[in-house]
Structure 1
Amino acid sequence: MKKTYYLFNPGLLERKDNTLKFTPYEEDGNGEMFHPGQPRYLPVEDIAEFYVFGSLQAKSSLFNFLGQKDIALHFFDYYENYTGSFMPRDNLLSGKMLLAQTSAYQNKKKRIEIARKFIEGAAFNMIKNLRYYNIRGKDLDGVIEKIDEYSSQIVHSTAVDELMGIEGNIRQTYYDGFDLIINDFSMEGRSKQPPRNEVNALISFGNMMCYSQCLRAIHQTQLNPTISYLHTPGERRYSLSLDITEIFKPILVDRVIFKLLNKRELQEKHFDHKLNRCLLNPSGKKIFVKAFEERLTETIQHRSLKRKVSYRHLMKLECYKLSKHLLSIEEYKPFKMWW
């Protein structure tokens, strides 16, 4: 199975015959690199994608090589914001699928039906998380009941704006439960740009990781990532990834956050507080990324396929299910945790 590589240090990535060579460097205050470290050689057959968190030097010949080998790069800035991706040429382009996606978006009834599915799946998985901790003495009955009440309104929504309002209420109520689940840290409400405390920093960082994973899964199917149904398609963003990520954030991001904080694998020393914002420091990022990668590679017994699949593969399966729905092959049903 191909691996995801995470580049935290600034450095030079280049092609070396039929492998990749990464040479880490130290970086001065002006962004100049010096004092090269020990290079590492990476066989391209083992690489699925790179996550780049530090400064990276590369030549156009490298990107040509990565494109040939179907290797993606996802870039994050200093503040842990996702800034963009290099994606190999799309070999799965389909005019039929593009027309089907566009037609479903332009049809108000079809669009709202798909959008409802995303919120339905997300709400179900949020409640699953809450019930998991509720039976472990966290007293989340009130939060669960409130989300159930909001969720009952999903089927009656007739406009995407109305549905987004319901989703916002569900999400806010769900986040209210975080302070009951997490032991040593407080969330104190959701803050994004910038995140004001440790829990918000983890949510923002994890959501960006989940978003880019979902983008890669979409790229491996015939779907166009810019045509979405819940989030309005816009300039310079892959809004379909935002749609599908809603389903997987409770499963992939939130579960990792709860585990790392409650087991004290992440502590105060793993965060930097500066300029009214809170960010993971390099050691904290490595701990989170390791746990997130372990979650992605974890497998479950799939009910329909009758075999074990990883959480990473579940995202790709979700894209296939949506594709079948758009082509009128099979009705789309969002992924819901059953354990």
Structure 2
Amino acid sequence: YRPIYEESEIEQLLNVCVDSAKKLHGVTKESIVVQKGKEVSVKRESLLSSTPMTVMADAFKKAFIESERSDMDFLFEKNEEVEPTAYGDPFLRTLYLLEQGATLKKEDERLIILKDKKVIKEVPAIKVDQILIFGNIQVSTQAMKFCLEENIPIILLSSRGKYFGTVESFKRINVELHKKQFEKADDKRFSLEIGKAIIKAKINNSKVLLQRYSRKRPFISINTEIKSMNNLLDKLLSVKSHDELIGIEGAASARYFSGFRNLIGDQWGFEKRQKQPPPDPINSLLSYGYTLMFYNIYALIRMHGLHPYVGFLHGIRQGHPSLVSDLMEEFRAPIVDSVVLNLITRRSLKKDDFLILENEDSPCLLKDGARKVFIKAFEGKMNSSISHGGTGYQVDYRRCIDLQVQALRRVIEGKSDKYEPMMIK
């Protein structure tokens, strides 16, 4: 058997084989023969030897025997059909509906998107874990019933991202867990410790993002902002009250966005973070990105049985999913802010992509094309790889958020003593 490979693929294959061999025991680099551009072979008898048998080794051995394959091509094969687990897919596949006037229907095992009686997209229902609907889009009764039966939340927003509500099943409500969560939220000491951990991660991650982008722009100085943020991190150690914690968070945020403004320059009209309404393109992008991330986190919290409206850093407030806001703080900079900086510095978006009204009280809005560009970049970021500090796993950002939700749940249940936030380096 003589497959032809590029030289880079040969090197990649060798590294994969060696790494796998170490885990399987008894297979060394010398037992793997590679002739670049000509032949790839693995000494099958080494893999099937009588070395100590781990679960992974046993599975690997059976795969070779059952498939009757001696080649390693399967390492490069991609399986596009990835089914959700029994507890929901931790990678959370999201269907975004943006086409105004469209209708979402269900036929057989597929979700169909139509406009003017023409099918514009078909999606296998098994590939969808949540649906975000922006603006004037209809959902058929059959599609809604299917989503409720399959625990697929439908999140309704305006075309500009304002939240209206969620259509979701009650199957995952965990009353006992919610009771513990309310009790912990009433514990001021517990809430303060969780809040301190989250704000520590937020300041650290914001600082690291500024440092990363400033390395590419040595002519821009953010030393003052970095020094201030380091000082605020030191002050966190001695925080004794929630009000003091919020004060430090506010000061750090102001210093961070000062550095953020320096990195993007004056041409975008960005002065500071403003939400309601966003007066410039940068604030508009940040708000839109935070909305997308907010409801991704919301779905993961619901998936693990926690109450999204009972937080620790952000107090309980009518109509506000405060636990979602808590967990968002760790990921604002590394996900959304990073996407915004990347789109702006690479000039993927221009001022013409925004609707900027002369009235000072009117919001700056993304045009339809800009929203699609942003969602594509956002999803790319969510699917990009990062090392998760708590486990050491190399995962994508969605899985990383999922692991943080699980970590917080363990602390609430008393299975872990301390919440370790996600800190990037």
Under a length normalisation based on structure 2, what TM-score does the superposition of the two structures give?
A: 0.73
Q: Find the aligned partners of 1:265 and 1:39 in 2 and give their Cα distance.
A: 26
SS in structure 2 of the partner of residue 241 of structure 1: helix
Of 236-245 and 133-142, more deviation after overlay is shown by: 133-142
**Residue pairs, 1:127-138, within 5 angstroms:** 127-136=207-216, 137=218, 138=220
Q: Find the aligned partners of 1:270 and 1:37 in 2 and give their Cα distance.
A: 28
Task: String of CA shifts for 1:202-226, please: whole Å, max 9, x gaps.
Answer: 1111111111111011011121111
Q: Find the aligned partners of 2:327 and 2:393 in 1 and give their Cα distance.
A: 23
Q: Which residue of 2 aligns with 1:169?
A: 251
2:415 is aligned with 1:329: yes
Shift in Å, 1:118: 1.1
**Residues 305/191 of structure 1: CA separation in 2 closer, same or farther (3 Å cut):** closer
Q: Find the aligned partners of 1:135 and 1:3 in 2 and give their Cα distance.
A: 34
SS in structure 2 of the partner of residue 38 of structure 1: strand
1:262 to 322, 331, 345: 345
2:370 to 274, 284, 304: 284
For the 8 Å contact 2:388–2:422, the answer to whether it is kept is: no
SS in structure 2 of the partner of residue 89 of structure 1: coil
1:73 to 154, 170, 180: 154
Of 260-269 and 217-226, more deviation after overlay is shown by: 217-226
> Could you say what the CA RMSD is over the residues aligned between the two structures, in angstroms?
1.8
Task: String of CA shifts for 1:38-57, please: whole Å, max 9, x gaps.
Answer: 34322101112222123121
2:190 to 105, 110, 115: 110
Q: Find the aligned partners of 1:300 and 1:185 in 2 and give their Cα distance.
A: 30
**Residue pairs, 1:1-339, within 5 angstroms:** 1=82, 3-10=93-100, 11-24=102-115, 35-91=116-172, 93-136=173-216, 137=218, 138-183=220-265, 184-274=267-357, 275=359, 276-303=362-389, 305-330=391-416, 331-338=418-425
**Residues 154/301 of structure 1: CA separation in 2 closer, same or farther (3 Å cut):** closer
Which one has more relative contact order, counting CA pairs under 8 Å at least 6 apart?
Answer: 1
Greater Rg, structure 1 or structure 2?
A: 2
Q: Find the aligned partners of 1:155 and 1:305 in 2 and give their Cα distance.
A: 24
Shift in Å, 1:3: 3.2
Q: Tell me, which stretches of 5 or more residues in structure 1 are unaligned? A: 25-34
Q: Find the aligned partners of 1:195 and 1:254 in 2 and give their Cα distance.
A: 15
Q: Find the aligned partners of 1:264 and 1:122 in 2 and give their Cα distance.
A: 27
Q: Percent identity?
A: 24
Q: Which amino acid aligns with 1:337?
A: I
Task: String of CA shifts for 1:36-77, please: whole Å, max 9, x gaps.
Answer: 443432210111222212312123432221122222222221
Shift in Å, 1:139: 1.4
SS in structure 2 of the partner of residue 133 of structure 1: helix
Task: String of CA shifts for 1:6-37, please: whole Å, max 9, x gaps.
Answer: 1111211112122222112xxxxxxxxxx444
Task: String of CA shifts for 1:284-312, please: whole Å, max 9, x gaps.
Answer: 00000000000011122445545431101
Q: Find the aligned partners of 2:158 and 2:241 in 1 and give their Cα distance.
A: 35
Q: Tell me, which stretches of 5 or more residues in structure 2 are unaligned? A: 1-81, 83-91
For the 8 Å contact 1:81–1:205, the answer to whether it is kept is: no
SS in structure 2 of the partner of residue 177 of structure 1: helix
Q: Which amino acid aligns with 2:402?
A: K
Q: Which amino acid aligns with 2:175?
A: G
